[in-house]
């Protein structure tokens, strides 16, 4: 579904993504791990069009999408959430998701068909599936941090993606919120069959859901493999823990 070949991105001479590669098959849950500053967010920005690669290919369903604007990439079936929550704070939970649904359905505001009545059942379905239906009328800015991160996922789902990209979905969450997010990701992958690509520092979460893990260091891909291959890779052990696999236990 997604294949990144030798992607490069530099900022004023600093190479943030340095020949990285990655592949994601349909239906897979793939994690990207690596220390802060490894280039994970930059890589995601290259996939979703927030940034344009200097070199390399980003193939989505065999089409090179590198350099397309974010809205076109979104229309092709890739949605994402951000490391830093990105929602309309003053709108309700319902309205935030409804806008995404309307935008996906390409419905414009129309005198004869008030926008408020559009996409109601679809929006309710999404809020129901992520557990936010009881908070549909709440002003989004007043939600807890954990609920805001989940709302961002719901907004991403409004675009009916084939590939969902999550940048640190549990950053700043309590253990309960993290557990809930993990179960939600399992549900999205299992019941809804979504393909998920995410990056995350919580190794317990990574190893409990990802069937494939890509490890990034200084902008490059060290390895991409199944959890056991990654745990047993010497370079990964050195990068992470000075030569032991303790942190993966």
Residue ranges in contact with Mg ion by CB under 5 A: 40-41, 83
What own/partner pairs with CB < 8 Å and gap ≥ 24 does 57-65 have? 57/3, 57/4, 57/5, 57/6, 57/7, 58/2, 58/3, 58/4, 58/7, 59/2, 59/3, 59/4, 59/5, 60/1, 60/2, 60/163, 61/1
**Does residue 38 bind ligand ADP (CB under 6 A)?**
yes
Least Cβ distance, residue 43 to Mg ion (angstroms): 9
Q: Which does 56 bind (CB under 5 to 8 A by kind): ligand ADP, Mg ion, none?
A: none
Sheet holding 29-33, edge to edge: 78-81, 163-167, 195-199, 29-33, 212-217, 220-225
**Does residue 16 bind ligand ADP (CB under 6 A)?**
yes
**Does residue 42 bind ligand ADP (CB under 6 A)?**
yes
- Using alpha carbons, select from 218, 98, 77 the residue that is nearest to residue 151: 98
Q: Which does 103 bind (CB under 5 to 8 A by kind): ligand ADP, Mg ion, none?
A: none
The stretch near ligand ADP (CB under 6 A) out of 32-40, 65-73, 84-92, 146-154 is 32-40
**Does residue 109 bind ligand ADP (CB under 6 A)?**
no
Dist. CA 214–CA 206, nearest whole Å:
11
Least Cβ distance, residue 33 to ligand ADP (angstroms): 9
Q: Which does 37 bind (CB under 5 to 8 A by kind): ligand ADP, Mg ion, none?
A: ligand ADP
Give the interface with ligand ADP as residue ranges (CB under 6 A): 11, 14, 16, 34, 36-42
């Amino acid at each position: 579904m997604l294949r990144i070949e030798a992607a490069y991105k530099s900022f004023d001479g600093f190479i943030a993504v340095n020949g990285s590669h990655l592949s994601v098959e349909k239906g897979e849950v793939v994690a990207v791990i690596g220390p802060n500053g490894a280039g994970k967010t930059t890589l995601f920005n290259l996939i979703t069009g927030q940034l344009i690669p200097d070199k390399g290919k980003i193939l989505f369903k065999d089409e090179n999408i590198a350099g397309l604007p974010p809205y076109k990439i979104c229309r092709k079936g890739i949605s994402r959430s951000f490391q830093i929550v990105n929602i309309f704070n003053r709108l309700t939970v319902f309205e935030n998701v409804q806008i995404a649904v309307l935008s996906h359905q390409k419905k414009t505001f129309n005198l004869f068909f008030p926008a408020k009545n559009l996409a109601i059942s679809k929006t309710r379905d999404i809020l129901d599936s992520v557990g936010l239906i009881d908070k549909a009328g709440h002003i989004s800015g007043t939600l807890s941090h954990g609920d805001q991160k989940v709302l961002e996922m719901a907004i991403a789902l409004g675009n009916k993606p084939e590939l969902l990209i999550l940048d640190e979905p549990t950053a700043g969450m309590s253990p309960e919120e993290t557990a809930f997010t993990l179960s939600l990701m399992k549900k999205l992958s299992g019941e809804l069959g979504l393909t998920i690509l995410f990056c995350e520092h919580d190794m317990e979460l990574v190893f409990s859901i990802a069937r494939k893990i890509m490890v990034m260091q200084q902008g490059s891909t060290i390895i991409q493999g199944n959890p056991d291959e990654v745990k047993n890779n010497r370079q990964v052990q050195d990068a992470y823990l000075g030569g032991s696999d303790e942190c993966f236990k």
